[in-house]
Amino acid sequence: MDNHSARRHATWAASATARNIVCAGAIAMNELIDAQENEAAAWGTACHQIAEACIREEYNAGASLNVAIKVGKFEFIVDEDMAFCAQDYVDYCADEVKKEPCKFWIEENFSLKALEPPYDAGGTGDFILYRPASWHLKVIDLKGGRGVVVEATGNPQMRTYAIGALLAHPELDVETVEVAIVQPRAPHKDGRIRTETFHVADLLEWTSDLLVHMRRSRAAYDAFQTLPPNSRLAFEAWSEAWLTTGQCTFCDAKSICVKYKREALATIPAKAKEWFEGTAEELPDVSNAPMLMSPEELAHALNGLDMLSDYIKALRERAHREAERGVQIPGWELAEKVGNRAYLEKDQAKLAKELKLVLNIGDEEIYERSIRSVAQLEKVLGSKRKAEFAKLEKKIWERPIKGTDLVRVSKTGRAPAASKPAKFFEAMEN
Ligand code: SF4
């Protein structure tokens, strides 16, 4: 199975085209951020890996059930949700191939280099198909997300793939281009699969606009490089000139973005604004009287809350990352995130043997459909053997450390955890 997480991304990645078109300074801003893959994105990557393997090796995604897939720091066990999502896309691609004679390409990497863009630009198209009889090019993209619904119409990412496909295959005679989004997990009024078809001339016109946006983005990038170091005023003036909100959802720079912060805070009442911008320790007296708000006010507040909660999340993530890098944040510290109790032995046959030997129990107590979890087994053993079972910590089972949380010192009883550099130096000394 090809490891998708190991792929290198272009500076102007097709997946960020919508953001970069709207916000000229986004590429410069994202260079300031040590971007980390979030769990939802990693889930999508794992799903893509299954889908690609199913198409290349011609098997059903159900055969991947219970297989472990590692994507960066995340590990997923393929469940029905992931297998169904991959299979939906695989079935759609297979049906499209059967419709009429065609050529197709799977997970093809594209570059826009031939257009001489001001950045290294490109991306990987999930599935590209060409029907010579109708001069028709089709680009199919799998979306694993369930939160953000992706539209096919006017989709800049899909158009970037389409232009990439035309550049990669200049031998193809193309008259019409069709893009298809397959998003099995997000409900949409037009169904799980949405398409848009346009004439190739429209795509070429769109591409010339794209190059204008790329050049503007490059100008923002070059202007950013000339900013005096450590000048907040210069940074804010640059932000004012080059940053535009509107496509911020997947931008990793949200937590440091002056424009995004301003817009997020503008949506909340003045008191809460003080809470974020002032120095008062006291929390505001938040009114909880929605009956007094009109439907329009409620809509405004809900829209604002979305943006505000995204901003808070981005800020928390950034603070956490800084603390993990060893930055001291006054009043806050890292604490170990302890996961659910888990057995030390991962091999199921060996574990069953060990449980029988140590606890003197049989299959009936050990198994439900598979080996019972630590918590279930403790329940089966009952209160009389609870103390005995507790003593097996670190012998049979453990409480695995699943990373860290950033916690307020005054509100936690948890032991502090070391930052990554501290752990590194500790390991060097031992
Ligand atoms: S958060 Fe929005 S406005 Fe700020 S850099 Fe990112 S895309 Fe631009």
Cβ atoms within 10 A of the Cβ of 64, count? 23
Q: Are 389 and 318 in contact (CB under 8 A)?
A: no
The residue whose CB lies within 8 Å of the most ligand 1 atoms, and thus the one to mutate among 238, 259, 263, 313, is 259
pLDDT tens profile 155-193: 999 999 999 999 999 999 999 999 999 999 988 888 899
Nearest CA to ligand 1 atom 2: 248
For ligand 1, the distance from its centroid to the CA atom of residue 298, given in whole angstroms, is 26
Q: Output the pLDDT for position 5.
A: 60
Which ligand 1 atom minimizes the distance to the CA of 23? 8
For ligand 1, the distance from its centroid to the CA atom of residue 118, given in whole angstroms, is 20
pTM: 0.75
Which residues of the chain are modeled with pLDDT < 50? 280-287, 289-291
Q: Output the pLDDT for position 280.
A: 44
Cβ atoms within 10 A of the Cβ of 234, count? 14
Q: What is the dihedral of CA 328, 330, 331, 332, to 10 degrees?
A: -30
For ligand 1, the distance from its centroid to the CA atom of residue 20, given in whole angstroms, is 9
For ligand 1, the distance from its centroid to the CA atom of residue 257, given in whole angstroms, is 6
For ligand 1, the distance from its centroid to the CA atom of residue 192, given in whole angstroms, is 29
Nearest CA to ligand 1 atom 3: 245
pLDDT tens profile 295-340: 777 777 777 788 888 888 899 989 998 999 899 999 999 988 888 8
Which ligand 1 atom minimizes the distance to the CA of 30? 5
Looking at this protein, which amino acid is placed at residue 296? E
Q: Output the pLDDT for position 162.
A: 97
Pocket of ligand 1 (CB under 6 A): 19, 23, 25-26, 29, 243-245, 247-248, 251, 253-254, 257, 259-260
The residue whose CB lies within 8 Å of the most ligand 1 atoms, and thus the one to mutate among 12, 19, 213, is 19
> Assign residue 102 a region: left if phi > 0, alpha if psi is -120 to 50, beta otherwise?
beta
Q: Output the pLDDT for position 9.
A: 78
Q: Output the pLDDT for position 286.
A: 47
For ligand 1, the distance from its centroid to the CA atom of residue 244, given in whole angstroms, is 6
For ligand 1, the distance from its centroid to the CA atom of residue 210, given in whole angstroms, is 18
Q: 6, 88, 95: which is closest to 47 by C-alpha?
A: 88
pLDDT tens profile 123-162: 999 999 999 999 999 999 999 988 788 999 999 999 999 9
Angle, in degrees to the nearest 10, between helices 39-57 and 80-99: 50
Which ligand 1 atom minimizes the distance to the CA of 254? 1
The residue whose CB lies within 8 Å of the most ligand 1 atoms, and thus the one to mutate among 224, 254, 307, 313, is 254
Which ligand 1 atom minimizes the distance to the CA of 257? 4
For ligand 1, the distance from its centroid to the CA atom of residue 39, given in whole angstroms, is 21
Question: If you count them, how many residues does the chain have?
Answer: 430
Nearest CA to ligand 1 atom 5: 26
Q: Output the pLDDT for position 277.
A: 65
The burial of 430, by beta-carbon neighbours within 10 Å (0-12 exposed, 13-18 middle, 19 or more buried), is given as: exposed
For ligand 1, the distance from its centroid to the CA atom of residue 224, given in whole angstroms, is 14
Q: Output the pLDDT for position 6.
A: 58
